[in-house]
């Protein structure tokens, strides 16, 4: 959830901010091309989706919300790191 209370439906690294996309979905590098995020496949061994949230107008993140872990063998965890300020180099 953004600072304005908007629910964001993409994950870090998804620069287009398309709903239900992770970085690997945009680059076509997910473990299974049928999915837009590695974690959507629900397979073992565990998979990850990661990346930076770069839209400054949506920062800071105020809440993380997750779903679809209702299967008997499904689980999930998250890490939200510290704010890192990264300047553009010319």
Which pLDDT tens digit goes with each residue over 36-86? Answer: 998 888 777 778 888 888 888 888 888 888 776 666 777 777 777 777 777
More confident residue, 4 or 75: 4
pTM given for the model: 0.73
Is the torsion defined by CA of 20, 57, 6, 63 positive or negative? positive
**CA dihedral over 18, 64, 75, 69, signed as positive or negative:** negative
Determine what percent of the chain falls in helix, strand and coil, rounding each to the nearest 5: 15, 0, 85
Q: Which sequence spans correspond to the domains of the chain?
A: 1-60
């Amino acid at each position: 959830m953004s600072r304005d209370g908007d629910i964001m439906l993409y994950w870090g690294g998804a620069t287009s901010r398309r709903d239900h996309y992770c970085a690997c979905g945009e680059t076509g590098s997910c473990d299974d091309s049928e999915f837009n995020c590695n974690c959507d496949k629900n397979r073992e061994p565990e998979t990850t989706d990661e990346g930076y949230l770069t839209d400054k107008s949506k920062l800071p993140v105020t809440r993380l919300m997750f779903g679809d872990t209702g299967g008997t063998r499904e689980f999930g965890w998250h890490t939200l790191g510290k704010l890192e300020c990264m300047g553009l180099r010319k």
